[in-house]
Structure 1
Amino acid sequence: MTTDIAVDTALDIDDLHAYYGKSHVLHGVRFSVAPGEIVALLGRNGSGRSTTAKAIMGMVDARGGLCWQGRSLVGLAPHEIAHLGIAYVPESRDIFPRLTVHQNLMLGQKSATRPGRWTFDDMYGMFPRLKERQHVEAGVLSGGEQQMLTLCRALMGDPALIIIDEPTEGLAPKIVELVGQYLRTLKSRGIAVLLIEQKLTIALDISDRVLVMGHGSIVFEGTPQRLLGDTAVRKEWLEV
C-alpha cells in the first residue's frame, strides 16, 4: 500500500484499534488528514468506516495512536473532542425538530459572544433554501433540507476538521451537487474534511485522497485517479 501523507497534518491516526464490547472492529488503521484537505473514506457497509468516525469522536472504545494537532484524543469524552475543533455530522441527521432552522443554527454556535469564522449569512448564502425556511420548524423540512441544516449547524461551531458520514444518502442529484459545493467551500477556507461515502462519483470528484476500508483496515490509499485505474481494488472492496 502506497501512502502520500501530508507533512502538515491536523489529524494523525496510527495503529488504531476499536472495539464494541469484545468485538474487535478496527485493526491497526493508519491515515492522516491535513488542513484544507478532503479525504474520502470508502468501503462497503460493515467495513468499519463509521466506527472509525466514532473512534475519533470518543464514542467507542479505541486504542492506539489518535492525535489531533499533536494532542492525543484517546480517553477524551465526545464533548471534549468537539471543543478541540472537531465536528461530526452523523448519517442520522440529528436535528432538533421542534426548533426553527435559525434556532438549530444558534445551538451550533461555539460561542454566542465570540463569533467564529462562519456567520448565519454564510450559511444562508450557501443554502438559500434555509434562509427561506429559517423560521420554520426543522421537523417539517425535507430530507435534503435537513441535511443542509445539519451540515451548517456543524460549521457554526467553527471546527478545523469536520467528519461527515454519508451526507448524500437518499438525496436528489441537485442536493448532492449542493453538498459537493459545500465541501469545496470548506476546503477553500482551510478546513480539513473526512468524508465517509459509498458513492464513488462525489468522492472521486471532490477528494484530494481516497482511502478504501475493508474488514476494519485500510486496504488502499491514493489519489482518486489511482483508484479509478485500479480495477482490482474497486471490484474486491467497493463494487456490489
Structure 2
Amino acid sequence: MSDILDIRGLQAFYGKSHILHGVDLRVGEGEIVSLLGRNGVGRSTLVKAVMGQVAASGSVRFRGSELLGLKAFQIAHKGVGYVPENRDIFPTLTVEQNLVLGQKRSTPGRWTLADMYRMFPRLEERRLVAAGVLSGGEQQMLTLCRTLMGDPDLIMIDEPTEGLAPKIVALVAEYLLALKEKGVAVLLVEQKLAIALDISQRVYVMGHGAIVFEGTPAELRANAAVRKEWLEV
C-alpha cells in the first residue's frame, strides 16, 4: 500500500515550548490510522502542523508533494480535509448552508447533500435550522459532513467523539468506515480506545511530543505496559 501522508522528523513549537520532537508517521491510501495519547502530548499540534496552522520543520508529504510552507487553503485544495476539535461551524447559517460551504470544487465530488442526509438523517430533519442551535452531537455530524463535501482524499479528525453519547459515537464509527469504503484515508486523533481499536488498521501512541508505539490494534491490545504508561488515566 502506498502512503498518502508521510511525516518525517516533524518538529513544532508554541513560542518557546517545544511540542513535537521529530515525529514520524504515515497513513496509507484508503487506510484508517489512529493517533492515541493523553491530553497535552501534542496530537492536536501534529494535525494542525500538517494543515499549515502551526509553524513546523521536518517533512510532511501528501502523495509525494511537500506541504510544509503552504497555507491552509492550499493544503485543503490538494485534497486534505480537517475536522478540528472545536467543530468550527457557522452558527448563524442553516445546516444546509454549512454543508454547501464545504464544497471546494466546481465539479461534482464523490459526495452529495443526499449522501450526507442518508448518512445522518437527523441533519436532513434539521437542514433549515440555524447550526448554532444544534446539539453537540448534531454539530459534530455537521462538521464531519461539511468537511466531506470538499471531497478530500485524506481527512484528519481531532477528537470526534469527545462529549458525545454512546449512540452518536457509534454513528461516528459508521461514518469513518463509510469513508474507508469510498477510498478516503483517515487520520483519527482519539482518546477512546474502543473506537480506535475497532476501526483502525494501524495505531500510533504519542507521549511527550514523540511516538512511543506504532503497531496494529491487536498489538496494542496485547501490550499492557504501553497502555498503562501512556494511555490509562
TM bucket normalised to smaller: over 0.9
Q: How many pairs are equivalent?
A: 233
- 1:23 shift after superposition: 1.5
Quote the Cα distance in structure 1 between the aligned partners of 2:54 and 2:113.
Answer: 33
Verify the 8 A CA contact 1:57 1:88 in the aligned structure 2.
yes
Distance in 2 (CA, whole Å) between partners of 1:90 and 1:74 is 19
Match of residue 197 from structure 1: 190
Q: Note the 1:130-169 alignment, pairs <5 A.
A: 130-169=123-162
Q: Does 1:175 pair with 2:176?
A: no
Which residue number corresponds to residue 60 of structure 1?
A: 54
| Structure 2 equivalent of residue 3 of structure 1 | none
Q: Indicate yes or no: 2:204 matched with 1:211.
A: yes
Q: Report the CA distance between 1:39 and its aligned residue.
A: 0.3
- Tell me if structure 2 keeps the 8 A contact 1:110–1:116: no
Distance 1:46 1:141 in 2: 28
Alignment of 1:81 onto 2:94:
no
AA aligned to 1:199 is K
Cα deviation for residue 106 of structure 1 reads 0.5
Q: Which amino acid aligns with 2:224?
A: T
Task: Give the 3-state SS of the residue equivalent to 2:3 in structure 1.
Answer: coil
1:230 pairs with 199, 210, 223, which one? 223
Structure 1 outlier segments of 4+, above 4 Å: none
User: CA separation in 2, counterparts of 1:165 and 1:13?
Assistant: 17
Distance in 1, matches of 2:13 and 2:173, equals 32
Q: Counterparts of 1:78 and 1:162 in 2: how far apart (Å)? A: 14
Gaps of 5+ in 1: 1-6
Q: Quick one: which amino acid aligns to residue 136 of structure 1?
A: V
Take 1:238 and 1:172, find their aligned partners in 2: how far apart are those partners? Answer: 21
1:220 is the counterpart of 2:216? no
Tell me how far 1:61 sits from its aligned partner: 1.1
Look up the match of 1:17: 11
Q: Aligned equivalents of 2:135 and 2:19: distance in 1? A: 34
Aligned amino acid, residue 18 of structure 1: A
Instruction: Give the Cα separation in 1 of the matches to 2:50 and 2:232.
Output: 27
Give the Cα separation in 2 of the matches to 1:158 and 1:126: 15
Percent of paired sites with the same residue = 69
1:15-56 residue CA offsets vs partner (Å, 9 max, x unmatched): 111111222110110011011100000000111100000110
Name the counterpart of 1:36. Answer: 30
For 2:121, which of 120, 128, 133 is the aligned residue?
128
When normalised by structure 2's length, the TM-score is 0.99
Please give the secondary structure, in 2, of the residue aligned with 1:10. strand
